[in-house]
Amino acid sequence: SQTIHQWPATLVQPVGSPLSLECTVEGTSNPNLYWYRQAAGRGLQLLFYSVGIGQISSEVPQNLSASRPQDRQFILSSKKLLLSDSGFYLCAWSLASSTDTQYFGPGTRLTVL
């Protein structure tokens, strides 16, 4: 069966510091991968999605970037964090199909101080 991992689970970072969040999927090949953010008291917002290695689509312009160096690895990065980057970051995967049901990871809670 498929499993999705995210780490770290929680992170506290100072403003201006870099960020790297990692997501990996096991038990499947060539998944679609997604990064979402949920700010406090708000809904989930799609940040990036990828349909293959090196293919990244950005939904919201911001100081974050995403990369997909391997088929089942998706990384979210920032060179300099802002206070507004605080939130709950979720990775999800799906298989290309007529429905593309998405399955979410456990999330990373990021606090920028």
Q: Which stretch binds another protein (CB under 8 A): 13-21, 46-54, 65-73, 76-84?
A: 46-54
Q: In Å, how far are 34, 49, 98 from 90, measured between CA atoms?
A: 8, 12, 23
Closest to another protein by CB, 14 vs 41, is: 41
| Residue indicated by tokens 């605080």 | 86
Q: Residue 37 and residue 49: Cα distance in Å, rounded?
A: 12
Nearest distance from C-beta of residue 90 to another protein, angstroms? 5
Tokens 């919201």 — which residue? 60
Residues forming contacts to another protein in the complex (CB under 8 A) are 32, 34, 36, 43-44, 46, 49, 51, 59, 88, 90, 92, 94, 96-107, 109
